[in-house]
Structure 1
Amino acid sequence: MDSRLIEYFLRVAELGSINKAAADLRLSQPALSRHIALLEHQLRARLFTRTQGGVVLTESGTLLLERARPLLRQLTHLVDQVGDRAAGQLSIGVAPSWRHLFTTKYIPRLVAEYPGVRLRVHEGVSHELREVMHAGMLDLAIVPFEGAPPQGYVHTPLVREPLILVAAKNAGLRPDKPVPLSRLAHRKLALASRQNVIRSTIENAMARRHLDFNIVFELDAMHLSIDLAREGVADTVTPCCAVSGNAHWDDAISWSPIRGAYMTWALCENTARSHSQAVREGQRVVLDMVDEIIGSKRWLGAERLKNRSRHDPPQ
């Protein structure tokens, strides 16, 4: 049996839709349907029931879902053991705010240093990445630090950075002049939905100070929220890395750190894939690049958190 059929099945089960899974896998919907039908034929069992809203697992499909992922991990483990260099697959999740400073440099660097690695990058806001992590679909993820990582993952604190208020150019905000949290009480704001760590951090901080704030609309799209701030529609709050060191925004927006408002990022690692040389090398490149970016002073106010990874050599 072709292991890709199992991977296709898992993606359909995760998304609950053949159309969505086909788009994610870059297959046509008829082609993916044929793959699923072939898998059902080989297993002699119906795996999905078609509904108006998509597909739901049958009893047989639920059983396969429970058993398939460990089998694929074992197969991946075997492939990695047989290979003597960093060949295999690396799936990494990164927040949109990291795009300019990190992600656009990480991808070409990893591909150049490890051409045998098949890289898959998932960009999404924090709660979206955690949903994908809960499904076991990511090997590494850079996400906001929380008390406990998702089940099956370990995390390493990476960076502490300021949260910033982003507004139109004529608002007169300056990176070298932090603003008090109370400044947000007098602004129209566009923030992410309540599951988002930045939203909850700001909401809780405002509540502790008995401050009200005006959310004009919710928007789980960071770069769009910055564009709207540039147009003067509504201000927004982002991690500093979203704009710091990015010449694209220099003449388009104004921004200031919010005094006393910070967030911490962590690197999460899937323990079922920690044996993989590709994952280890991917993690090493992440840590090296974060050190380099902070050392370059392009990431305003960023503080590297020096918790040693469990893959680092003893000091």
Structure 2
Amino acid sequence: MHLIECLMRVIEAGSINRAAGELGLTQPALSRRIDMLEHDLGMPLLVRKPRGVALTPAGELLMEHARPLLRQAEILRDAMGQRVRSHVSIGLPFSLHHIVTVPFTVRELKASSPMSLRVYEGFVHHLHQWMSQGVIDVGVMEYRGVHDTDQHWGPVIREPLLLVGCQRDDLDLGGEVRPEQLERIRMILPGRPNIIRHALDDHLNRRGLRLTDVIDVETVPLCLSLAAEGLGHTVMPYSAFHKQYAAGRLHAVPIRNLYVSWAVYVHEARRHVDGVSRIANRLREFMVARVHDGQWQMAQAINT
């Protein structure tokens, strides 16, 4: 397990040198550990490049299966009392990076706390997978309604989805975008199964409409960058682009009756662990405070 943890730290750091510094090892010592792991498994796991490292296909397969195993080992060590600090892993969607993830993480790291916090970011479908595997204890994911069988820690944060384009765009949409107007607009959108793409497609399908000109892009920042260059429009919540909006690089118009709702979820097996419940409560309270103090514009906190 220790050798696999070393490999994971190398991938997270992006280079053996940086990972060695974080682990308090010399670069040759960490390289020897990676070599030992590759020798034990009988196959290369890393490709050394001029500007860092990358996983081989075998390394990608190992990491895919190793994350939940490492997390379960960490939980077991906590339960057996071998660590004084409680380890809590949280996951948040890319779109909340600036409005929630960064300020919440900064606040928690500055606090004097007996907990060790690990933060993951990903698309929402990845967060669902990581929670089912036990990789994360707490996750901010889309709220799936009152019949949701998983336990969420309310309230729900609801924010409108907006059509986003560059400031110099001369598209005249008025103060609100109607669904039928979207059909004739070139769209730059995250590929499926992204929840924003799913919400937009479902919104149009229910009205017998569909998008006719779509550029599929795999990341939220790239969608926004291409929209800022005037290559098309994207659809995002305000939380995903508020800094570019404040800087005047983008403009946005709400799409009629189209929203995304966020809720804090807790892994079923970990919800009664004190550290996990405290982080979940603090994250929920932090999100609500961002709405109430005006930092999270256009969003509403709704009790469910």
Pick the TM interval, shorter chain.
Answer: 0.7 to 0.9
Deviation at 1:4, TM superposition (A): 3.7
Q: Which residue of 2 aligns with 1:178?
A: 176
Q: Which residue of 2 aligns with 1:239?
A: 237
Q: Which residue of 1 aligns with 2:254?
A: 257
Q: TM-score, normalised by structure 2?
A: 0.76
Counterparts in 2 of 1:172 and 1:102: CA distance versus 1, 3 Å: farther
Deviation at 1:92, TM superposition (A): 1.3
Q: Which residue of 1 aligns with 2:205?
A: 207
| Gapped regions of structure 1 (runs ≥ 5) | 13-18, 41-45, 308-315
Matched, 1:36 2:49: no
Which secondary structure does the structure 1 equivalent of 2:253 belong to? strand
> Are the counterparts in 1 of residues 161 and 237 from structure 2 also a CA contact under 8 Å?
yes
1:92-131 counterparts in 2 under 5 A? 92-131=90-129
Greater displacement, 22-31 / 184-193: 22-31
Counterparts in 2 of 1:229 and 1:247: CA distance versus 1, 3 Å: closer
**Counterparts of 1:141 and 1:176 in 2: how far apart (Å)?**
36
Deviations 1:121-153 (A, max 9, x none): 211121222232233211111111236879xx6
Deviation at 1:261, TM superposition (A): 0.2
Q: Which residue of 2 aligns with 1:75?
A: 77
Amino acid at match of 1:185: E
Deviations 1:191-235 (A, max 9, x none): 111211111111111122222323432112112211111110121
| Gapped regions of structure 2 (runs ≥ 5) | 21-26, 46-55
Matched, 1:303 2:300: yes
**Counterparts of 1:231 and 1:156 in 2: how far apart (Å)?**
39
- Number of equivalent positions: 279
> Are the counterparts in 2 of residues 191 and 217 from structure 1 also a CA contact under 8 Å?
yes
Amino acid at match of 2:77: L
Counterparts in 2 of 1:185 and 1:250: CA distance versus 1, 3 Å: farther
> Are the counterparts in 1 of residues 217 and 223 from structure 2 also a CA contact under 8 Å?
yes
Matched, 1:283 2:247: no
> Are the counterparts in 2 of residues 93 and 121 from structure 1 also a CA contact under 8 Å?
yes
**Counterparts of 1:140 and 1:110 in 2: how far apart (Å)?**
14
> Are the counterparts in 2 of residues 77 and 275 from structure 1 also a CA contact under 8 Å?
no
Deviation at 1:257, TM superposition (A): 1.1
Which secondary structure does the structure 1 equivalent of 2:183 belong to? helix
Deviation at 1:294, TM superposition (A): 0.9
Deviations 1:33-63 (A, max 9, x none): 34637xx9xxxxx667669731567xxxx9x
Counterparts in 2 of 1:256 and 1:68: CA distance versus 1, 3 Å: closer
Q: Which residue of 1 aligns with 2:57?
A: 53
Aligned match for 1:217, one of 215, 218, 242:
215
Deviations 1:157-205 (A, max 9, x none): 5211111110111236899922212221121001111211111111111
Deviation at 1:249, TM superposition (A): 4.0
Deviations 1:58-78 (A, max 9, x none): xxxx9x999876554232223
Identity of paired residues, percent?
23
**Counterparts of 1:197 and 1:23 in 2: how far apart (Å)?**
28
Amino acid at match of 1:131: Q
Aligned match for 1:169, one of 167, 170, 175:
167
Amino acid at match of 1:267: V
Which secondary structure does the structure 1 equivalent of 2:287 belong to? helix
Which secondary structure does the structure 2 equivalent of 1:123 belong to? strand
Amino acid at match of 1:192: P
Counterparts in 2 of 1:65 and 1:149: CA distance versus 1, 3 Å: farther
Q: Which residue of 2 aligns with 1:15?
A: none
Counterparts in 2 of 1:65 and 1:99: CA distance versus 1, 3 Å: closer
Deviation at 1:270, TM superposition (A): 1.8
Deviation at 1:79, TM superposition (A): 3.3
